[in-house]
A and B are shown apart, each in its own frame.
Chain A
Amino acid sequence: MDLSSISPVLLLASVMVSATPILLAAIGELVVEKSGVLNLGVEGMMITGAVVGFAVAVNTGSPVPGFLAAALASAILSLSFGLLTQVFLSNQVATGLGLTLVGLGLSSLIGKPYEGMKSPTLPRLDLGPLSDLPVLGRMVFSHDIMVYLSLALVAAVWAFLKYTRAGLILRAVGESHDAAHALGYKVVRVRLMAIAFGGACAGLGGAYLSLVRVPQWTEGMTAGAGWIALAIVVFASWRAGRVLIGAYLFGGVTVLQLNLQAAGAAVPVALLSASPYLITILVLVIISARGAHGAPASLGRPFHASA
């Protein structure tokens, strides 16, 4: 095994890239769950975003419309989940699973003609003197715009939930929908907006996978990233800052195992490629064993305003 072939600077730089899709999806799901809705369809929305973003970017020749279209498509898809769970009061767990199955089917249908194509990808930003810093420049300050946008989004969500009136209403709806309803807040409307936001974020995350991280379209390319995003929300105890830590941790594990595989480490390949999932399980166990949860009290419960 040749560990010296792994450069720590490049490793950390690629951690930021590999964490971004999960981070985007997880921060969106955090808002959804804060409003009291459990949307298990993240995987389906992500992969739909991945394929729509890729298709639009290839056809327009530019990644920006791709990202926009991905966010829009996944938001629309997530609203179908919203319609079923909020208006038709269906079971959220089952509907979320259904959303994932629909998304997987839809994406492989749309993506068939795009297999093996190359897409335009995002350029790396040149942040002037910052990008020229010796180690830090290569590691932190020479990524594409989405990496920084995702970080800004985390900060924005954190501030929104903590400091704004709208954020307070959203949290109230998630903690006790009956009390929020009695105060005159539109529970269903708030939740639908949260669901659409979560969908748009998952779509952006998916598009980042197919346009920057890989950048190609292959069937089922999200490979559980959406489920890992769900696990990260649990790991983060529903706090925006910890979502960031969680996503970078998992990004790190993913990159490290790929590097170890490439370096020919004396660990079975099966164990390495399963390691992100095994570590997700391990982290979930540790978090749940500690007992402190902080889950929104109305999470996953259907809301029906009785007259």
Chain B
Amino acid sequence: MIRLEKRPQPSRLWTLLSPILAVLLTMVVGGFLFAVLGADPFEAIRTIFWDPLFNPQFAAYSRPQLLVKAGPLILIAIGLSIGFRAGIWNIGAEGQYIMGAVAGAAAGLALYPSESPLIFPLMVLAGALGGWAWAMIPAILKTRFGTNEILVSLMLVYVAESILASVSSGLLRNPEGMGFPGSRNFREWEAAANLEIFADTGMHWGVVAAFIAVIGAYVLMARHIQGFNIRLSGEAPRAARFSGVNPARVVIFCLGTAGALAGLAGLFEVTGPAGQISIDFNSGYGFTAIIVAFLGRLHPVGILLAGLLMALTYIGGELAQLMLGVPGASIQLFQGMLLFFLLGVDVFTNYRIRIGQGVAA
């Protein structure tokens, strides 16, 4: 008989091993999936994971894209992971990302066509504030009324999407855009553009912010009392209250940080890679970042690696779509499966497998 025996502490080895095992499992099952879809599984896996980095024909285009896509994913996932550690489930990062972009873009466009060097910093600030304010709605409702933050933050994604649809064809529409929806293009407005810092690397200010967030989160979680309080609230809420941690403050801090980081990601995206506010500039980074946070074990360094890997599947997925005619949606399924397998494999982190009767404790 096979039994599970709870480990006194999560296994260190399996914490590191299970993401790798989950990726391998996803590759195997994904391979079958591609075979069913009529593509050579080995070629499909190679196209997704190898070609974007090393194929001489595509790498020149794909490598910079890696940072462009990983930047927002890492930035959002870092914020989410802090909340997840505390047992606060903000799953509305997509909404905070949109509102950050809208607020930042609005702040910039109000001053168009000024060429002041202060424009971009101002927009960054407004972007962070926009995301923060949107995340404060579930935070305050939770601390005041005990409302479930999962449902509220998720509902606010749909609200943010209808606001985005409204402003991109109304308030923020480009007056010189012949009536087409969408704002002015920020890439053509030097004071507000978030362009590559080094040519052909994909490194823009959002990626810099992501790296800073990784370091900041590491210091916070490993070295700072606030980080300790956050972990304590998640693992032993009662103990946290006895030691004087104010649960409401933890909620406000976690949701606020996540919202501000997601808002920043939105602003950097809209002034850089996306270029303008449009109805569909958001591409689901807020949801994929949830996978990134878990795959990275809610640890800043892990998230950095997981963000890069997830960016790779985006780019590789596009490439596979182009080269092998694999449907674009299959990559979405691929990413979802990755999270599923990870959660399944994690049983080894927290439990020992015992075969036979075992000795009674």
A contact residues vs B (CB 8 Å cutoff): 40, 80, 83-84, 88-91, 93-95, 97-99, 101-106, 108-109, 112, 219, 223-224, 227, 230-231, 234, 268-271, 273-274, 277-278, 280-281, 284-285, 288-289, 291, 304, 306-307
Contact = CB atoms under 8 A, between A and B. Distances in A.
Contacts of A109: 327, 329-330, 332-333
Contact of B336 (A91, A93, A104, A274): A104
Interface residues of B, number: 48
Contacts of B347: 88-90
Tell me the dominant secondary structure on chain A's binding face.
helix
Contacts of A285: 141, 145, 147
Contacts of B344: 83-84, 88, 90
B253 interface: no
B146 interface: yes
Contacts, number: 136
A98 B163 contact: no
Interface stretch (B40-48, B154-162, B194-202): B154-162
A227 B329 contact: no
5 closest A-B pairs (Cβ-Cβ)?
Answer: A105-B333, A270-B166, A105-B332, A102-B336, A108-B329
B330 A89 contact: no
A274 B166 CA distance: 11
Given A105-B337, A106-B333, A280-B155, 16 more contacts: A88-B343, A99-B340, A101-B287, A101-B290, A105-B335, A108-B332, A109-B327, A109-B330, A224-B154, A234-B151, A270-B165, A280-B151, A284-B141, A284-B148, A285-B141, A304-B4
29 contacts: A89-B350, A89-B351, A91-B343, A94-B343, A98-B336, A102-B333, A102-B339, A105-B330, A105-B337, A106-B336, A108-B332, A109-B329, A109-B330, A109-B332, A112-B327, A112-B329, A219-B329, A231-B151, A268-B166, A274-B158, A277-B156, A278-B159, A280-B155, A281-B151, A281-B155, A285-B141, A289-B145, A289-B146, A307-B3
A236 to B, nearest CB: 14
Nearest to B351: A89
Contacts of B163: 270, 274
